[in-house]
């Protein structure tokens, strides 16, 4: 099922459109794993930022649909608008989820995953509060799949992550629920991981936010490996008994 979640951006009333695809779980449909990527860009063409993340999620959606892979938990695939505008798309989604008391058991965000930085490895960034989801969930499944050497974890204080990407909206950054009666103001979704390959080296991806961010700059074989890893992780988590 595909839905469009529309809302308005700040006082200028500009529309935000998040695109949400849902694959219902067969045993625990009320609990969901959320895969996210933003589809907007500062300047075209935005191949790495963030066409690469969008490509990974589109392929995962295709695999889950065409192969009819059974999943115990619901998998929700979300394409965020306005990441490049103060994370407004993801913040709108998280507000909606909190108000509806959605039972999100894990979030994996894909942002700039097609440039390998020369070492062929994928970074998994999370806050200390999410360390158990990373270590006992994503890294455990990666090891079972024989891909533990493909990824490496980066665990930070939450203060070092806020505002740096859509994943930080799930950690509660910038979410104003002051006028929503009955909601816990400190609540967030803490099982959150940001998947990226663009923060390596001293300056990171050299074509970041430029017109030179083209598909020729990407390592397509690496992007294919990212997608294979992600599909295996999603299958493992969506059929785990640990949630």
Q: What is the pLDDT along the chain (243 residues), one digit of tens a residue?
A: 888 888 866 546 678 899 999 999 999 999 999 999 999 999 999 999 999 999 999 999 999 989 888 899 999 999 999 999 888 899 899 988 988 889 999 999 999 999 988 888 899 999 888 899 999 899 999 998 899 999 989 998 877 887 789 998 888 765 555 544 443 434 557 789 999 987 654 458 899 999 999 999 999 999 999 999 999 999 999 998 776
- Judge contact between 230 and 108, C-beta under 8 A: yes
**Helix locations, the chain, DSSP H:** 52-66, 88-99, 131-132, 139-144, 167-170, 220-238
Token duo for residue 156: 């930070």
| Residue 36: closest CA among 57, 15, 17 | 57
- Domain spanning 2-238: which CATH class is it, in words? alpha beta
Give the Å distances, CA to CA, from 68 to 26, 65, 71, 202: 12, 5, 9, 43
Model confidence pTM above 0.75:
yes
């Amino acid at each position: 099922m595909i839905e469009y979640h529309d809302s308005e951006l700040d006082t200028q009333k500009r529309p935000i459109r998040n695109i949400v695809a849902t694959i219902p779980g067969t045993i625990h449909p009320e609990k969901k794993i959320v895969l996210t990527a933003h589809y907007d860009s500062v300047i075209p063409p935005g191949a790495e930022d963030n066409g690469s993340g969008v490509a990974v999620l589109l392929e995962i959606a295709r695999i889950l649909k065409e192969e009819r892979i059974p999943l115990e938990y619901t998998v929700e695939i979300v394409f965020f608008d306005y990441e490049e505008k103060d994370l407004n798309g993801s913040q709108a989604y998280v507000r909606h989820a909190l108000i509806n008391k959605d039972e999100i058991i894990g979030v994996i965000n894909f942002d700039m995953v097609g440039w390998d930085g020369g070492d062929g490895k994928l970074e998994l960034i999370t806050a200390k509060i999410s360390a158990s989801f990373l270590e006992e969930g994503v890294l455990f499944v990666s090891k079972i799949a024989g891909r533990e050497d493909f990824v490496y974890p980066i665990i930070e204080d939450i203060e070092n992550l806020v505002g740096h990407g859509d994943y930080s909206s799930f950690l509660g950054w910038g979410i104003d629920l002051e006028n929503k009666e009955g909601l816990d103001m400190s609540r967030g979704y803490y099982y959150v991981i940001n998947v990226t390959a663009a923060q390596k080296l001293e300056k990171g991806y050299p074509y970041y936010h430029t017109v030179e961010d083209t598909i020729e700059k990407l390592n397509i074989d690496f992007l294919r490996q990212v997608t294979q890893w992600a599909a295996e992780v999603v299958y493992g988590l969506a059929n785990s008994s640990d949630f």
